[in-house]
Amino acid sequence: MKAKTPSESKTIMTTIVLTNETNAYNNMFGGDLLSLMDRACAIAAQRHAEAKVVTASVNHVSFSLPIPLGSTVEAIAKVSRAFGSSMEVIVDIWIDDVINHRKIKTNEGIYTFVALDETMKPKKIPDLVPETEEEKTRYTGAIHRRELSLLLSGRITPSEAIELKKLLEGN
């Protein structure tokens, strides 16, 4: 199985925020944003795995800036690391201000997906080879986030968190 790059999974979804997607402050509902993020990440994961995928966890979501009614919203998702049958996908959310010719990053999310075969069992996926500096940083961070999650859930012991230990010791 040939390794892939994050750009091979890149998914861009664009939408406009309509009235029925806004709260009392005329900003996009968090739930609608989460749905957009999950869909963009799922497509990126399917592209990487070349298989059907399911969301295993939503590891982190930041709601840094509100997204006002009428905004053009762009979700850009890419696989950041592959782990056997699972993968981490990061999505960045941007307001595409076409009038003023600028993009404003508003939010980001980190999701984990698992690839499944036709019998609904986890399926091996290609490795990931990061290319850009941002991709390399996200790739390295993914192993730390994964170990921390496994440690907190009790699925590994502190002595098994080798990458976290290296990070904390400055190696």
* Closest listed residue to residue 130, CA positions, set 56, 26, 48, 13: 48
- Per-residue pLDDT tens over the stretch 13-44: 999 999 999 999 999 999 999 999 999 999 99
Residues 51-70, buried b or exposed e (16+ Cβ, 10 A)? bbbeebeebebebeebbeee
Average pLDDT for runs of 10 along the chain of length 171: 97 98 97 97 98 96 96 98 97 95 97 97 98 97 92 88 86 70
3-class state of residue 36 by DSSP: helix
Give me the domains of the chain, ranges plus CATH numbers: 6-128 (3.10.129.10)
- The residues pairing with 86 across neighbouring beta strands, listed in sequence order, are 83, 114
3-class state of residue 102 by DSSP: strand
Matching residue, tokens 């892939």: 4
Cα–Cα distance list, 10 to 27, 28, 34, 136 (Å): 27, 24, 18, 15
Check residue 168 and give its pLDDT: 85
Check residue 121 and give its pLDDT: 98
Beta-carbon neighbour count of residue 14 at 10 Å?
12
CA angle, residues 131, 97, 41, in degrees to nearest 5: 45
Check residue 1 and give its pLDDT: 87
- The residues pairing with 15 across neighbouring beta strands, listed in sequence order, are 73
Q: Alpha helix locations (H) across the chain?
A: 30-49, 133-152, 162-169
Beta-carbon neighbour count of residue 156 at 10 Å?
17
* Closest listed residue to residue 138, CA positions, set 65, 60, 67: 60
Half-sphere exposure of 155 (CA within 13 A, CB side): 6
Check residue 159 and give its pLDDT: 85
Are the CB atoms for 123 and 51 separated by under 8 Å? yes
Check residue 165 and give its pLDDT: 84
